[in-house]
Structure formats: C-alpha cells, structure tokens
Amino acid sequence: MSGAAAIGVDVGSTTCKVVAIDGTGALLDRRVEPTDPRIERQVERLVGEIRATAGRELPVGATGYGRKRVAGARALTEITCHARGAFARAGRAGTLVDMGGQDTKVIRIGPSGEVLDFAMNDKCAAGTGRFLEVILGRLQVPFEGLAELVAGASRPVPVSSTCTVFAESEVISLVASDEPLDGIVKGLHVALASRVAALARGVPAGDEILMSGGVALNGAMVASLREALSRPVRVLPDPQLTGAVGAALSVLPGPAPR
Amino acid sequence: MTREPYIRRQRDEHGRKSVAVLPVHYPKELLTALDLLAVEVWGPPGAPRSDAAGRIQAYVCSVVRNALAFLASGGADVVDAALFPHTCDSIQQLATLASDFGGWKKPTLTFLHPKDPGRPSARRFLVAELHALAGRLEALAGRRLDPERLTAAIALHDEIDLHRAALLDGRATLPLDDRALYALLRRGEWLWPEEHLAELQAARAKLGTGRPAASIPVLVTGYVPEPSAILEILNGAGAFVAADDYAAVGRRVVRDRRAPATDPWEALADRQLAAPPCPTRVADQGPRMRHLEGLAERSGARGVLVHVVKFCEPELFDVPAIRRTFEARGIPLLYLEGELEAQLSGQAVTRIEAFVEMISGAGGAA
Amino acid sequence: MILRRVQYEAAARAVGPFLAALDDWRQRRRKRPARESPFAPPLESLRALKDMMMVHYLSGRYADGAVPVAWVTSGFPVEMLRTLGYHTVYPENHAAICGVQRIVPALSDAVEAQGYSRDLCSYVRSDLGSLDTGRSPVGRLPRPDLLACCTNICQTVLYWYRDLARRFDVPLVLIDTPFIYGEPAPHQTRYVVDQLEEAIVVSERVAKRPLDREAFSETVRLSREGSDLWGQCLDTARNRPAPWTGVDGFFHLGPVVALRGTEACNAYYRTLLDELKDRVSRGIGGLKGEERHRLLWDNLPVWYATREITTLLGSQGFNFVCTTYTNAWAEASSLIDPANPMESGARSYSQIMLNRDLPNKLRLLERLSREFAVDGAVLHSDRSCKPYSIGQIDLKDRLARDLGIRTLLLEADHNDPRSWASELAANRIGAFMESFS
C-alpha cells in the first residue's frame, strides 16, 4: 500500500469509518466499526492501523458528528465531504441523497464538485434510517431478503403517520387487522421515500439521483426512492464510505483528481 | 436572573418601577417618559423554568411556553406589571391565560397594533391605543405624563436608534465578534435607556478601527438570536452577521430620520409606523422583501440565514417569499428552526458549518 | 358578461337544483351497504342541505364574470357584501370539504415544497395547495374580485388572505378586531366601525354599485334571524334524548356560514327546526340506542375523523349534544340591530368567543354544560388552531373541578390526518368512556 496519500475519517452517529486513498482518489484500505462513545481512542486506534500499513505519516481529513474530536485532522462537514466523495465516485455533477442512521441529506453538487444547495431532515427521526430500523425491528422483519419481500408485495398498505411513534402504533394496528406483512413493509418504504422526495424538491427533472449512506444498501429503499422521485437512482460503490472518502480527498496534496 | 439586582437598584436608587415586556413591538418611549424601566422577556431561552409550561400545548412556540413557566415560577416578581403586545395569536392568549388563570398576579397591560396601518382608521386607532396604554402606565407610575418628557423620550430613543443603526450598518468595520455585538445591542432590552445610549456611544467610537475576525458576510433574519451559540458557530466557521433582521434587534431600529411631528402623540405614532417591516405586524410582503434585498445588497451578504422559532406563525408565513426572493437573486439560503434550546444540536451545527463551507467555497470545489 | 350572468343564474336557479335532484335520485337507487351505525336515520333535511350547498358550489363555477365574487373568512360581517350582490366563497368551508375527503396530505405537500411549514394552519395549506394543484372536491372555485378578511377568529387568516391577494392581485378589505380583554373599550369599537365604513367603500367600488342602506338593513335582519334560527336548532338538543348529535351540526352549519343573510338560509333552518322539534315531540334521539351520556365538544371538528370519533362514542351511548364551534354562529350576528347595523355589527362581530379572553370562554363552557346538562366534555386540542386551543388545559381542569364533569383532551389537527393516530385516539376515548362506569 505504498500509494496511500491521504486518510479520511467519518465519525457518524452509528458507525465510524476510516479509509485510505491513493493520489488518484482510489480506495486502498478501510475500517468500519460501530461508533464507540470514546471517539478519540477509537479513531486513534483505527488511524494508527491504517498508518502502520502505509508505513508513513499521512494527512487526515475528518467529517461526521465526531469530526472535531479527531486530533490533527482537517475537519469539514458531512455535506461538503459527501459532495466531494460522490463527485469523485460518480465523476460528474448531480444530486446526492445520503441516508444514514440519524440524518437524511439531499445535496446538489455543482460541475466542479462544489455544494450548490443542501437540505436535511428535521430533527424528528421520521425521514431517516432509524425510522425503518425501529419499525422493522418491531415487526421482526430481517434485513436479509427485505428487497425481495417488498418487490413481491402486491400493493403497499398506506402508512399515513410520519411520526415514528405514531407510525409504530399504526403499523401494529394494521398487523392486528390482518393486512399482509409484505404490503405493510412496502407501505413503510413508500412513506419514507415520500419524505425524502419532499426534501429533494426542486431537483432538475431528468437528473439521475446518486445515493449514498448505509440505507443505500437496502434495495427496497432504493426501489421506493426511484418510484417516489420518478427518476433513476444510482447507488455509489461502497455507499457508506462516501463521506470518509470525501474527507480524505479534502486533504489530498496537490490538485484534486477529476 | 442577573437583571434582578439591576432592577432592584433602579428602584432603590432612582425610584423607578419596572415592567416586564413580552415580544415584540411596543411604545417604549411612553415607559421612559414615565420613568418606568422596561425589561423584556424573550422566552427566556433554555429549559422552561417551571412545569407551568405544561399548561400550554407542545405545538405552541417556546417563547410563549417558556414565558408562562418563567412568570409562574416567580421569575418576574421583582417587576411591577407585565405588558403583552399583540404580537400573535399565541401571545394574545398567553396574556389572558397568565393573568386570568394563574401565573401572573400583578397588573397586566396590553397593547394592540392595528394591522394594515396605512388606513386612516388604523392610524386613528393607533393614537387612541397609545393614549389608552399611557393611561394605564400613568396609574402604575403614579404620575401624569408630561408632554415635554414624552418629546424628550422620543428624542432619546431616536438617538439610540441612530447609534444602533450605525453599528449595524458599519458592522464590517467593527472589531467585535457577533456575540459581543449582540450582547451590547440586546442590553437595550433591560438597561435604562440613557445607560444603554452611553454604551452604544462607546462602541460607536470603535467603528472603522478594524474588522470582525470572520470574513464572510451573511444576512440573518428571524426572531431572536438564541441560543447565542449560533453566533459563535457562525464566526468559528468564518462568517459573520453583516446585516440583521432579527425581530428582537434590527426590526426594531427606526431609521426614519424625518423631523418628528410637533405633537408628541403624532410623533410617537410615526415612530411606531416607521420601524422596518415586521411579519408580527403583518407587514406587506412586497416592502419587506425589498427591505431584505436592500440589507443584502448593502452588506454584500453571500448567504441568508433564516433563523426562526418553531411554530412561530408570523415568521413562518413569510418564509416562502424569502425563499423566492433570494433564489431569484442567486443568494443561497439556510433555514434553521430552533426552540430556544440551551445548546445547539449537532445537526444544527453541521448545517451552519456546511452552509458556510458552501458559500465560501472552502474545500468545496474538488 | 351577459352570457356569463345567464349561465350563473341558470346554474343557481335551474340546472343546480336539477343536478342536485339527479344526484339525490342516484343516491337512493344505490344500494347502501349494511353498516353497523349507532345513529338514528339521517334527518330528512339533510337532503335539502345537500341540494342547497351543491347549488351554491355549482353556481359558483359560473359566478366569475357574472357577478362580483368575494372570498370571505367565516367571521367576516358579510351582510354588506350580500347586499352588494357578491357571490361569496368561504375558503375555510372549502378547506373543510378537502379535509373530509382526506386529500389534504397531497395538497399540503404541494405548498410545503414551496417552503410553507407543516406547522402552519392546515386550512391554509389545504386551500393554497388546492389552488396550486387545481385539485378540489367541488370542481373549481370562482376567481375572487375581492378578499374580505376579519381577524376575529385569528390573526392567521390575515396572513392567508394577504397571500391570496398576492396570487389574485385583487383588493383585500380587512376588519381588524382588537382582542377583547374584559370589556371592549370605546376606541376599539370605534376602530371596527371605521373599518366597516372603509370596507364598504372598497366593496362598492369593486361591485361598481353603491350600497343601498335600506337593503343592507334588511340583510342584517335576515342575518340576525338566521343566527337566531340556528341557535334554536342547536337548543333542541337540550332535550333528553337530544334529537340529533351535536356534531351533525358541523355539517348543518353550512348555510349559516356560507349563506348567512339570505332568505334561503333562513328557510332551510325553519325546515330543520321543524323536523328537530318533531323528533323531540316523538322522543326520537340522535342515537339509535339509549342516550346514556351527554357530551360537549370544544374546538373545530376533526374533519377527516368526525365519523370515527362519534361512532366510537355513539356505540357506547355517548352523544355530543353541544359544541362551542357550532354555537359560534348562533352568536355571530346575534347582537346586530337592523336599525343601527354599523355600531351593533362592530360589537357583535368583535364579541365572538374567539376574540375574547379565557374567563369569557370558561363562562360559555359552563353555561353550555349546564343548559345542555352534559356529564362529559371532549376538548379537541387542535395543532392547527392556537387561539382556540391555548388555555384548554386549564379550562379542562376547571370544568372537571367546578362542574364535576369528566373531560378528555384529544390531540389532533382539524384538517391534516397526518397528525392523527387512530389507534392512540381510540385508546384515549376508550379510557374516557370507561371513566364513566
């Protein structure tokens, strides 16, 4: 791994991601762990491991909620880093939907990877990955096979409540009234996708949507988003690492690769 | 309450009674002329001071819920009366809830702004309402309102506004961070006006002697700069408030420099009507948008921060127009909602920092 | 213009009733599914009501260009507009229809996308959303020539109408009613009288005709009579059993809101009153079964869930016999004196419950509770109506303490079902009913 040129750290609310990239922005190494409350110690260990492999000091860029607790790093917000990371991965401007555990962000990326505009969910969890996690947990629906379950549902059972607590009770009563489970799960995805679509208002028609964040690994959500936005959705490679890659790119010496 | 010793001193040393005043607009000149100290209650911010907040539903703004909790906890017992301007439906209801159903036992005063004040009926009403309030205040002060003192009070508040406007307009040449500047401007919410004037004059001497540490100018519009951490985060990220349209601050600075009418009541009414357009008085959106555009232009603002209190209907109704206005001018806008929380949430911090990164291009272009 | 007028008149006088009759005929031919309903058969008058409201909305489609059209808030002193020949449209009423039809989330989404907060009144979001999307259960509303707004129900309507004024670029007349703490001060009443005069000038200009003061006085008489008749209809529910359910009033309210000051409105309430009195004399109640408990309702209806709520309660013998909401229109014109319409109108429209302090509201709640002999009260805590809702927590405690009645604070939103959790509400209502046993 002699080509490593920069390290990126993304300390999110649920997972901590550390990556190494080479001078062209290619991903060389990665560490992903659940976020430890003692962030400093965890980051120091993970960065140390990556440095050891690289065999030398590397500049560090940090993002995520814990970004200011990463010693010696250049701290930038997730918005800027996701834009950079997504731009490098997709190779063009566009609109990025990033769905993480506690946040959903919609970022419009300009022709040189800059942020043109962004929107985030309001502070309740209704538009986030946590919403799905809570309710799917309640229904005891496993993550594996979720996409197939939803794809196989004949019709979505409408879930109107957008508040997580209300939706939970609504879903319970739907189950009690013998509505099909796959339809309810599909309904949940439709409800969540419509919240995200509301955030993505004003996105130029016909634009392909880029998607990142842990929730992008849920095929059912990707499909629902495609439907809600009525346009193609392209999941970036290693979607949960986009922010960390962007953070690393921000400290890459010399002109950034296009 | 750090203001409490001050209020007591004003009473003991100057024999001044004091009046707690709810947001936003009120004829402070009347209080000054009657030697009454106005002490404004903007919430107060932070967690409610007592469980009386639970007497108002959670979908009502924290300004009103916190105010009831504050009054009910005895937080304002040091003052002699409370004035509730008719700012919105919620404050209107708070006035009757607190004084009729518990929370506030001392005298309750109200002041109604006529809406659509360009109409002859509205102007007549405003003058009559000013007289009515003056009558209540006279009873409280135990003295008659001397017209000459009213004229002097109008001149004093005019001068205060002159300095406030100078500080806000010359912001880019003032070597203060936003927190210090706002602390100064907002001391006017409770200091005796002449003392406030002296502080403003001292600060004005610093105009043109330096620059704020941050360099990216933004326009802020909203209700009240709370929590003040918002200013620190903004400055820390490299931006500063170059133009202000907070209801608590800029929207109460009268810049109309015409010679006042000879009749003090007419002059007082003129001053009420000359304040910048404010949605709590249901100002027309056209003039308000032109006012905001003017602020943005003169300050060279590169971004607009809309900072409102959740559930605040007057502010919320203007947000679509503000979006349209600045979208048309290509100026980015950040919308931030708060509930007078003691601390900014991590997400709010991220939003502000990302916004500044965006408008400054810092690390933006790959 | 003349053609338009002919169309409007035809719609109002001939085509409308014909279509209404056709619809009625269709309804009767359609087999109704047997549904477990705790309610007595619907009032016969309901058909006349439907016809009347249908004609109103249908003729509205041809009103613009034919007669002057005004969009009016529910508390506006409409008598002047009526006399000047305006076709009046009540956006609040239209929004409520959208609420009943449960199309509000889609309408709201459209305006939320422009930056209107979901925390704004759901009536406003419904109506602006309907304008933006072109979706309406009544086809289309005629374009206004005039907007008429009175702040006696809230300040919100002024923000709403100002938005409408920008969209349509038409004059807005405002009656700004100072909120009354205690008793109204003379300068406050004077202000309202002055504004009525100013409003008449603008309304005359837009209608291109002067206000005939004699005809105005007659409209005022009709309006007052309409309010009185409506009040008498409501009062029949003092009987035990009440001949209808108080929430039937939410729907029978249509004419006194939208057609107040017309003979047609009053004729309708005479018919309704006769039927209600007849039911009383025959001992027919609003519920099929025994009326075990009598309830008061406070605040706006939950338009999309009224049936759900009343069915749940009705099936256990709980009947709403009075509401502060329907009572408001018995109050609205009750103090108007045809001999002195300006001064008395200013007083009457300023003194409605929503424009007065909480002790006044408490007195009203206590009076209704006593006169209608209720043993329980449901206070709808309405996210979308702060002036109606702030104070309810104290009012609820006082009702329980002073009158010993059982109370429930039910959180919802009058028009947006996204703030409604059926299951949670059913639980609360269930617990409330159990508290009576």
Ramachandran area for residue B142 (φ above 0: left; ψ -120 to 50: alpha; else beta) = left
* pLDDT score for C7: 74
Chain A hits for C421, CB-CB cut-off 8 Å, are 161, 163, 166, 169-170
User: Which pLDDT tens digit goes with each residue over C219-271?
Assistant: 999 999 999 999 999 999 999 999 998 788 999 999 999 999 999 999 999 99
User: Which pLDDT tens digit goes with each residue over C180-211?
Assistant: 999 999 999 999 999 999 999 999 999 999 99
Q: ω before A156 within 30° of 0 (cis)?
A: no
What lies within 8 Å, CB to CB, of B350 at 6+ separation is A65, A77, A78, A79, A120
pLDDT above 90 for A157: no
Q: For the residues C351-360, what does the mean pLDDT come to? A: 96
Which domains, from first to last, does chain A contain? 4-87+240-249 (3.30.420.40)
Q: How confident is the model at residue C4 (pLDDT cuts 50, 70, 90)?
A: confident
Residue of B nearest to C117 (CA): B316
CB contact under 8 A, B100 and C387: no
CB contact under 8 A, A80 and B366: no
CB contact under 8 A, B350 and A77: yes
* pLDDT score for C11: 65
Compare CB distances from C424 to A162, A169, A198 and report the shortest one's residue: A169
> For domain B149-360, is the CATH number 3.40.50.11900?
yes
Element (H, E) at C8: helix C2-10
Under 8 Å between Cβ of A211 and A99: yes
* Owning domain of residue C163: 2-434
Other C-beta atoms closer than 10 Å to the C-beta of B355 total: 27
Domain count, chain C: 1
pLDDT above 80 for A87: yes
* pLDDT score for A126: 65
**High-pLDDT (> 90) share of chain C, %:** 81
Q: How confident is the model at residue A124 (pLDDT cuts 50, 70, 90)?
A: low
**CB contacts < 8 A (A, B):** 59
Chain A hits for C422, CB-CB cut-off 8 Å, are 170, 173
Backbone φ, ψ for residue C288 (5° rounding): -65, -45
Candidates C154, C177, C181: best to mutate against B (most CBs of B within 10 A) is: C181
* pLDDT score for B264: 96
User: Which of the given ranges, A192-206, C36-50, C218-232, has the highest pLDDT on average?
Assistant: C218-232
Residue of B nearest to C398 (CA): B101
How far off is chain C from B120, nearest CA to CA, in Å? Answer: 9
* pLDDT score for C27: 59
C422 at the A interface (CB within 8 A)? yes
Strands A15-22 and A27-34: antiparallel
Residue of B nearest to A112 (CA): B365
**High-pLDDT (> 90) share of chain B, %:** 92
* pLDDT score for A1: 47
**High-pLDDT (> 70) share of chain A, %:** 93
C424 at the A interface (CB within 8 A)? yes
Computed over its alpha carbons, how large is the radius of gyration of chain B? 20
How far off is chain A from C254, nearest CA to CA, in Å? Answer: 29
Q: For the residues C75-85, what does the mean pLDDT come to? A: 96
Q: How does DSSP classify residue A258?
A: -
Compare CB distances from A115 to B345, B346, B364 and report the shortest one's residue: B364
Under 8 Å between Cβ of C411 and C393: no
* pLDDT score for C28: 56
Residue of C nearest to A160 (CA): C418
Candidates C117, C183, C189, C342: best to mutate against B (most CBs of B within 10 A) is: C117
User: Which pLDDT tens digit goes with each residue over B24-65?
Assistant: 999 999 999 999 999 999 989 899 999 999 999 999 999 999
pLDDT above 80 for A201: no
CB contact under 8 A, C154 and B89: yes
Specify the range with the lowest mean pLDDT, choosing from A104-108, A139-143, B185-189, C41-45: A139-143
**CB contacts < 8 A (B, C):** 139
Chain A hits for B354, CB-CB cut-off 8 Å, are 77-80, 115, 118
User: Which pLDDT tens digit goes with each residue over B123-152?
Assistant: 999 999 999 999 999 999 999 999 999 999
How far off is chain A from C132, nearest CA to CA, in Å? Answer: 15
pLDDT above 60 for C30: no
Chain A hits for C417, CB-CB cut-off 8 Å, are 160
Residue of B nearest to A105 (CA): B351
pLDDT above 70 for C128: yes
Candidates A35, A65, A79: best to mutate against B (most CBs of B within 10 A) is: A79
Q: Whole-angstrom Cα distance, residue C309 to residue B44?
A: 39
Candidates C386, C410, C420: best to mutate against B (most CBs of B within 10 A) is: C386
Q: Whole-angstrom Cα distance, residue A165 to residue C396?
A: 26
Candidates A80, A98, A120: best to mutate against B (most CBs of B within 10 A) is: A80
Candidates B305, B353, B356, B360: best to mutate against A (most CBs of A within 10 A) is: B353
CA A243 to chain CA centroid, nearest Å: 8
Q: Whole-angstrom Cα distance, residue B284 to residue C107?
A: 25
For chain A, the residues whose C-beta falls within 8 A of a C-beta of chain B are 65, 74, 76-80, 83-84, 87-88, 102-103, 110, 112-118, 120, 122-123, 249-250, 256, 258
The mean pLDDT value of chain B amounts to 95
For chain A, the residues whose C-beta falls within 8 A of a C-beta of chain C are 160-163, 166, 169-170, 172-173, 194, 198, 201-202
Chain C hits for A162, CB-CB cut-off 8 Å, are 418
CB contact under 8 A, A77 and B366: no
CB contact under 8 A, A87 and B332: no
CB contact under 8 A, A80 and B361: no
How far off is chain C from B89, nearest CA to CA, in Å? Answer: 6
How far off is chain C from A256, nearest CA to CA, in Å? Answer: 36
Residue of A nearest to B336 (CA): A122
The mean pLDDT value of chain C amounts to 92
How far off is chain C from B316, nearest CA to CA, in Å? Answer: 7
pLDDT above 90 for A147: no
CB contact under 8 A, B56 and C191: no
Q: How confident is the model at residue C331 (pLDDT cuts 50, 70, 90)?
A: confident
Q: What is the DSSP string of B279-292?
A: GGGT--HHHHHHHH
Q: How confident is the model at residue B17 (pLDDT cuts 50, 70, 90)?
A: very high
pLDDT above 90 for C429: yes
Q: Whole-angstrom Cα distance, residue B339 to residue C384?
A: 18
CB contact under 8 A, C121 and B313: yes
Q: What is the three-class DSSP state of B36?
A: strand
pLDDT above 90 for C406: yes
A-contacting chains (≥3 CB pairs under 8 Å): B, C
Backbone φ, ψ for residue B98 (5° rounding): -70, -40
C-contacting chains (≥3 CB pairs under 8 Å): A, B
pLDDT above 90 for B192: yes
Q: For the residues B173-199, what does the mean pLDDT come to? A: 97
How far off is chain B from C337, nearest CA to CA, in Å? Answer: 23
* pLDDT score for C29: 56
Q: How confident is the model at residue A60 (pLDDT cuts 50, 70, 90)?
A: very high
* pLDDT score for C35: 59
For chain B, the residues whose C-beta falls within 8 A of a C-beta of chain A are 332, 337, 345-347, 350-351, 353-354, 357-358, 361-366
pLDDT above 70 for B112: yes
- What tokens were used for C248? 């039937």
Strands A104-109 and B333-338: unpaired
Compare CB distances from C421 to A170, A194, A202 and report the shortest one's residue: A170
Residue of A nearest to C418 (CA): A161
Compare CB distances from C120 to B64, B115, B313 and report the shortest one's residue: B313
Q: Which residues pair with A209 in a beta bridge?
A: A95, A233
Chain B hits for A68, CB-CB cut-off 8 Å, are none
pLDDT above 50 for B366: no
Other C-beta atoms closer than 10 Å to the C-beta of C31 total: 6
- What tokens were used for C274? 């006769």
User: Which pLDDT tens digit goes with each residue over C384-405?
Assistant: 999 999 999 999 999 999 999 9
Q: How confident is the model at residue A39 (pLDDT cuts 50, 70, 90)?
A: very high
Q: B63 or A196, which is more confident? A: B63
pLDDT above 80 for C332: no
Q: What is the DSSP string of C17-59?
A: HHHHHHHHHHHHHSPPPP----BPPPPTHHHHHHHHHHHHHHH
CB contact under 8 A, A120 and B361: no
> For domain B3-145, is the CATH number 3.40.50.11890?
yes
* pLDDT score for C197: 97
Q: Tell me the domain boundaries of chain B.
A: 3-145, 149-360
pLDDT above 80 for A122: no
- What tokens were used for B120? 């002859």
Q: How confident is the model at residue C358 (pLDDT cuts 50, 70, 90)?
A: very high
pLDDT above 70 for A56: yes
